[in-house]
A and B are shown apart, each in its own frame.
Chain A
């Protein structure tokens, strides 16, 4: 049970075995993906045929298109990046506004609104996707029938993907930023105001710097969640596929190890993001 109580040997041994098995279970799929990015074969499967960088650098003449020559994949990474940037900016800005609204303002119906803000988190992503798709189409049809306006951004495509992802990611940003704003000592603001600072100056020099870790943290989470989102995106996507949709399509067909290469790239990128965040936090604590 706990360290201060005697634990029989069999219990300690089985705990250790269980933990090792658990870690293997956790990391085996990732290790396998990474290893087969370097296998010198046309299909990501055993046996091992030797080491190659073809799946990163290869071009058409070698008969193998590597990640850095695969224009389709590169374009989809770029698409995901652009979408994620939009979602991040929107989610952090609106999330901050929501945090101030919930922590600082008082108005009738506040309780109901704060409940409503949590609802997007319990709606399955697929349903968020179809509801936004149907509603946007209705609005676009209406505009086209009544005003003769063609609102193309309401048809399946990247703007709709951004809105769909934003609709639930902003709820997470709101929670994160509200939690930190709640712990803020308001006497600091009062002190600054008493000393003659204007309200915008107080916001800029005191409140926002205090919120900074939450802002950075929620931005990172928003970016990551947007980049990895599949369910909502699948329903709203148009001609330009973000990376997850592109990878899904290729995985169904049985793709070459170029998918392993792009996966490895994603692993390295998210590891770097995680490390940067952790280092920031360590510095803040020190």
Chain B
């Protein structure tokens, strides 16, 4: 009897070990150790071939060189702008899906909104390039309508980058918003209306507080994805894109200056993490709940 329990305990321990092994291997070999290594890399400076000393030189370069922090700030501000625009566009759509559409219409509209995101970002960006470039569809249409004399270049502007980023991010905003709006009880809105509230007051006092978790989740994910985007800014912004991920790529792959690239990577990671933390604090939510929502 005693032997049987001992075997059972041993079995349980073996199972636990077998289940823990892949998880630990994944998290330590691919996430924790690589990031520690990246941190080490960013805090050193090559003094001779294959000889390094610990230093803050990489971070000093970032602050000393206006181009670098300029691009960094620009990326942050444009990402915040793209997040706000995405929220503005996605909210009425989510509202229609969750509250206005009747029966199957809501579900259908929801699926229709998801379809473009089954297609690769590369394909969607190709579509925008064909639409917007000087020889593209929209400039030709503008000439045809007599609005411009000759074709205008609509690519390579900051506004173009924003359009592309908002487009790519919509899904990640609509899904959590629909989730949080669906759980809002209509009778609350009706009660507020009966008590004489206008539409704006209802939105501010009932809808937004109720949807706050969804709004936060959507904004966090969209901001993070936008900040880390590479494809959309470089293709739609061309040489003017000046996106920070592009600087990381240049340092790492083109110039082979891994120390500098690692420092840039850490700065981007710090900004992204700070925004996630800030968003969570602002709405008083737990990280794990937000991640499960999206």
Interface residues of A (CB under 8 A from B): 1-5, 15, 18-19, 22-23, 25-33, 36, 43-47, 93-94, 97-98, 100-101, 105, 107, 113-128, 130-136, 138, 163-164, 166-167, 170, 175, 179, 224, 227-228, 230-231, 234-235, 243-244, 247-248, 251-252, 259-260, 263, 266-267, 270-271, 273-274
Sorted from nearest, which 6 A-B pairs have the closest CB atoms? A29-B127, A124-B228, A131-B34, A135-B34, A167-B30, A101-B19
Task: Give the chain A neighbours of B118 by CB distance below 8 A.
Answer: 224, 270-271, 273-274
**Interface contact A259-B126, CB-CB below 8 Å:** yes
Q: Which of B112, B121, B189, B253 contacts A2 (CB 8 A)?
A: B189
Distance in angstroms between the alpha carbons of A282 and B76 in the assembled complex: 43
Distance in angstroms between the alpha carbons of A227 and B118 in the assembled complex: 11
With A46-B137, A133-B252, A228-B121 known as contacts, the answer to whether A114 contacts B126 (CB < 8 A) is no
Given contact pairs A22-B89, A30-B116, A134-B258, enumerate 9 new A-B contacts (beta carbons under 8 Å): A1-B199, A5-B189, A5-B190, A94-B23, A101-B16, A119-B31, A123-B269, A166-B30, A244-B120
Distance in angstroms between the alpha carbons of A283 and B228 in the assembled complex: 39
Shortest Cβ distance from B202 into A: residue: A1
Q: Which of A28, A45, A260 contacts B126 (CB 8 A)?
A: A260
Q: List 27 A-B contacts (CB under 8 A).
A: A23-B112, A25-B167, A26-B167, A27-B116, A32-B130, A32-B137, A36-B130, A45-B130, A97-B18, A97-B19, A105-B16, A113-B23, A116-B27, A123-B272, A124-B268, A127-B269, A130-B252, A130-B265, A134-B38, A224-B118, A234-B230, A235-B252, A243-B122, A244-B120, A247-B123, A247-B126, A270-B119
Instruction: Give B102-133 as 1s and 0s: 1 = Cβ < 8 Å from A's Cβ atoms.
Output: 10000000001101101111111111111101
Interface residues of B (CB under 8 A from A): 15-16, 18-20, 22-23, 26-27, 30-35, 37-38, 41, 89, 92-93, 96, 99-100, 102, 112-113, 115-116, 118-131, 133, 135-137, 140, 167, 170, 186, 189-190, 193, 199, 202, 220, 224-225, 227-231, 235, 245, 248-249, 252-253, 258, 261-262, 265, 268-269, 272-273, 276, 287-288, 291-292
Distance in angstroms between the alpha carbons of A133 and B262 in the assembled complex: 11
Distance in angstroms between the alpha carbons of A115 and B230 in the assembled complex: 27
**Interface contact B30-A163, CB-CB below 8 Å:** yes
Shortest Cβ distance from A245 into B: residue: B122
**Interface contact B116-A235, CB-CB below 8 Å:** no
The smallest C-beta distance from A220 to any residue of chain B, in angstroms, reads 10
**Interface contact B96-A19, CB-CB below 8 Å:** yes
Task: Give the chain B neighbours of A127 by CB distance below 8 A.
Answer: 38, 228, 248, 265, 268-269
Q: Which of B38, B100, B235 contacts A251 (CB 8 A)?
A: B235
Task: Give the chain A neighbours of B89 by CB distance below 8 A.
Answer: 22
With A122-B224, A124-B227, A130-B261 known as contacts, the answer to whether A117 contacts B38 (CB < 8 A) is no
**Interface contact A107-B20, CB-CB below 8 Å:** yes
Q: Which of A22, A179, A263 contacts B292 (CB 8 A)?
A: A179
